[in-house]
Structure 1
């Protein structure tokens, strides 16, 4: 089979398509014929060695997949022919940019019926991050007010919709160029980060979803008891201590596989309450170009590799 691998840290050019052995599913695993694979900023950080999750190369990056179950190991919860999507193994290696991936069956869920594989592959890591931050950690509910950083990005555009599906009032922080986009997703208010200091524009919020290392400044806009959900600074114990000392809650999010939450997200998608936005599709052989697109910082939603 084909798999995208790298033999050294570096820029997008280190990604190469190579021949690899087709995996066999172990007990509780399914062999997925990958039809599409999502590309996330974390993929770029691991490739460059900025985030050394996988140790030294060689290895393959990528975690988001959507495809069809081809074979199952003993005790797996799917059957051949089932369409599934998920984010297996994160933060360990999944080598998702490949023709086949063998994964634990409880780390994938049935693909939303309303989505094709390309759209489905854009969902897992970003939507699970938003879900685990806003629903699990912040317990966001009816009438609560939340600020979402980088609202037009992969995590952000799902966060807007998940928050709205739970009855929240959403304030989106983005550029003027993306204002209409985030409003279409459901944002109630939009702040242009290039012209407005958000700390002067809002206050007394129930939650902030920070994916931009703005935890220190975001603290000032939270009400007492409000929750700072931090993606980029989930490791920051000093920030966590300050948040708690000021009577707010700190929730550092490092996303993890969770089929139950994926099923809940899929249900919202099939009800029309959440829709992924795929800005670009790129063939597997051009994985380097996909990384260049994501690395530009100008993409709305997600970039997806087409595999089969």
Structure 2
């Protein structure tokens, strides 16, 4: 390492485990190669997949090479462009997703190398700290509602686990598209869901799935624990999508059971989807929903909070 090489802060860990394995370290600042963009990160956010990777729940994919970094979502400013990069400018405010979950560089870092295909201009309708809450959950909600559930105006949507990052984003998008939205959430989160545009809220603690009428054209299940039961609330011809890995066994089983097939979504970052999300933010259809903003030094606390499974929006990590 050259003594003149610029350094930067990064969150890393040397073994799988609880939030306590995370630490803020000083590492060499990366330089962009061909097809790469160097970004000064203003904020990142904590997603359920970040928690799962850190804990070792995806070790078959992420392997045992350490140290590892954390964080997929970012919002920041373009500092330098590698060769062969077009469509972005130095100084531009951008947001995006680091798509390689096994990479050494996560978004919880002052400077990151990103790919142009998963990076685009950040929405002008919100600041970069708030914008960092949206990329992963936004792409997931958008792809689920638009591409898999084919949700249209006047249709009835049920969102299970509605107060989390994907659920709260899906409520807003569905409301903007003219759908009737029923949100499954805790009683404490009901006012939050209604503020986002839910037409009706149902407390999962007092209303079991079998108490729901078969009235829904589409179901987005962000929880997965009672997927089989909520599936029965679909009208004939209805569609259902789950976004959690815990839903995979029943999703496979549903291909041979009577009734609608459960489709499992693992959203990949696409530039066009990020651009669509930015347009929704700038039109006022979509607002970032943030549970809490943490400084980088408190990222362990952010992961601990994320592990509870209870949220009203996202946990954001501020770096600037």
Cα distance, 1:249 vs structure 2: 3.8
Q: Helix, strand or coil for the counterpart of 2:316?
A: strand
Q: Name the structure 2 match of 1:108.
A: 119
CA-atom RMSD in angstroms: 1.6
Q: Name the structure 1 match of 2:106.
A: 95
Does residue 32 of the first structure (1) align with residue 39 of the second (2)? yes
Q: Name the structure 1 match of 2:221.
A: 210
Does residue 43 of the first structure (1) align with residue 54 of the second (2)? no
Deviation string, structure 1 residues 185-244 (Cα, Å, up to 9, x no partner): 000111000101133123131111112113211221112221110111487265344256
Gaps of 5+ in 2: 1-7
Gaps of 5+ in 1: none
Distance 1:266 1:199, change over 3 A: farther
| TM-score, normalised via structure 1 length | 0.95
Q: Name the structure 2 match of 1:55.
A: 63
Does residue 254 of the first structure (1) align with residue 269 of the second (2)? no
What is the 5 A alignment of 1:290-305? 290-305=302-317
Rounded Cα–Cα distance in structure 1 between residues aligned with 2:160 and 2:127 = 28
Does residue 69 of the first structure (1) align with residue 81 of the second (2)? no
Retained in 2: the 8 A contact 1:12–1:289? yes
The one of 140, 151, 159 equivalent to 2:162 is 151
Distance 1:180 1:255, change over 3 A: same
What is the 5 A alignment of 1:83-232? 83-93=93-103, 94-213=105-224, 214-232=226-244
Rounded Cα–Cα distance in structure 1 between residues aligned with 2:200 and 2:76 = 37
Distance 1:253 1:92, change over 3 A: farther
| TM-score, normalised via structure 2 length | 0.92
Rounded Cα–Cα distance in structure 2 between residues aligned with 1:81 and 1:202 = 52
Rounded Cα–Cα distance in structure 1 between residues aligned with 2:262 and 2:268 = 18
Does residue 236 of the first structure (1) align with residue 248 of the second (2)? yes
Q: Helix, strand or coil for the counterpart of 2:57?
A: coil
Retained in 2: the 8 A contact 1:234–1:251? no
Rounded Cα–Cα distance in structure 1 between residues aligned with 2:88 and 2:141 = 26
Cα distance, 1:73 vs structure 2: 1.1
Rounded Cα–Cα distance in structure 2 between residues aligned with 1:144 and 1:234 = 27
Rounded Cα–Cα distance in structure 1 between residues aligned with 2:237 and 2:39 = 44
Number of positions where the alignment pairs a residue of Structure 1 with one of Structure 2? 308
Retained in 2: the 8 A contact 1:234–1:253? no
